[in-house]
Amino acid sequence: MSWLFGKRSVAEPARPPVRRSLALRGLLAGLRPGPRHAVLDLGPPVADNIEFLAGLSCRVRIVDLQRSLAAETAEKTAEGAMAALLERLLPVEPDERYDALLAWDVFDYLRPDQVSSLMGRLSPLWQPEARALVLLSTGRKIPMKPVRHRILGLETLGEEGLRQPTRPGPQYSELQLARMMRGFSVSHRVLLKTGMQEYLLVRGAGLGALAAPTSGNAGPPSNRTWFRKR
């Protein structure tokens, strides 16, 4: 009877919140025309994301970094020991160069030295003008585990796991982000209603690196005004 009264029945599962993500759109638009792209996803495996990216001729590497680090001992994740751990978590394949990084909100669950170690490990593996999508919480509290992001469209994201126990968040600033992600520069940012700051970063040329849309409506608008400035 839900169709009649317009209300969701009790048994019907609640749909996860859906939001627009122009950073995702910008990131996907940056995938250069070519036979295959490589995308590095630091979040948990989500079948929708893999299928969506496969439709864009992408090969996706899943790391599930927060879960992988949580499974390790404190000694292995300590400062100075991360390099050895990342060698195991992120084996380098000879010809693999990444076009895009989907970091989601994983950096909020890492120490600055861990992020720097990760980016150092990845530094020789980027394609020129590789792009990265990063979400950082501006609030003091963050969910206990990273939110699961589900790509539902070229600029549409579903978010699962927003309502869960919280823990203190690091409240990384843009300056800290720039220090942790050397070689990348913030191209666009937008503050979401949830208190998350969404960043699109581009490796190398910085602001001028955003190319015009490659085809159809897959690209971002031609200027940067589509993002609200903080």
Partner 1 sequence: MWNKRENETMPSSAETPQAVVASSALPPAPRRDASGGIGPSISIVGDITGEEDLTILGKVKGKIDLPGYNVTVGESGRVEADVNAKVVSVAGEVHGNLIAAEQILVRKTATMLGNLKAPRVGLEDGCCFRGSVDMERPEKGRVASAPLPRATVPIAPAKPASPLPVTTASGGVMAPKSETAPVRS
Q: Of the candidates 116, 125, 145, 156, which one interacts with partner 1 according to CB under 8 A?
A: 156
Which residues are bridge partners to 135 per DSSP?
A: 198
Does residue 230 interact with partner 1 by CB under 8 A? no
* Sole window of 108-116, 131-139, 154-162, 203-211 interacting with partner 1 (rule: CB under 8 A): 154-162
Q: Which tokens is 84 given? A: 């050895």
Contact between 192 and partner 1 per CB under 8 A: yes
Judged by CB under 8 A, which of 111, 121, 145, 150 binds partner 1? 150
How remote is the C-alpha of 224 from its chain's centroid?
Answer: 20
- CB under 8 A: which stretch of 42-50, 127-135, 139-147, 205-213 binds partner 1? 42-50
Sign of the Cα torsion 214, 181, 119, 60 reads: negative
| 155 Rama sector, left if φ>0, alpha if ψ -120 to 50, beta otherwise | alpha
Instruction: Work out whether 19 is an interface residue with partner 1 (CB under 8 A).
Output: yes
Site mask for partner 1 (CB under 8 A), range 160-179, x = bound = x-------------------
Q: State the Cα–Cα distance between residues 167 and 117, nearest whole angstrom.
A: 23
Q: Half-sphere exposure (CA, 13 Å, Cβ side) for 90?
A: 25
CB atoms near residue 44 (< 10 Å): 20
For partner 1, the binding residues in 87-106 under the rule CB under 8 A are 89
Nearest to 96 by CA among 63, 54, 129, 125: 125
Binding of partner 1 at residue 193 (CB under 8 A)?
A: yes
Q: For residues 180 and 190, is the Cβ–Cβ distance under 8 A?
A: no
Is 14 an interacting residue with respect to partner 1 (CB under 8 A)? yes
* 13 binds partner 1, rule: CB under 8 A: yes
36 in contact with partner 1 (CB under 8 A)? yes
Give Cα 225 distance to the centre of its chain.
21
Distance, CA of 230 to CA of 210 (rounded, Å): 19
> Pick from 59, 145, 179, 224: which binds partner 1 (CB under 8 A)?
59
| Between 157 and 209, CB nearer to partner 1 | 157
Binding residues for partner 1, per CB under 8 A? 13-20, 36, 44-48, 50-56, 59-64, 67-68, 89, 148, 150, 152-154, 156, 158, 160, 192-193
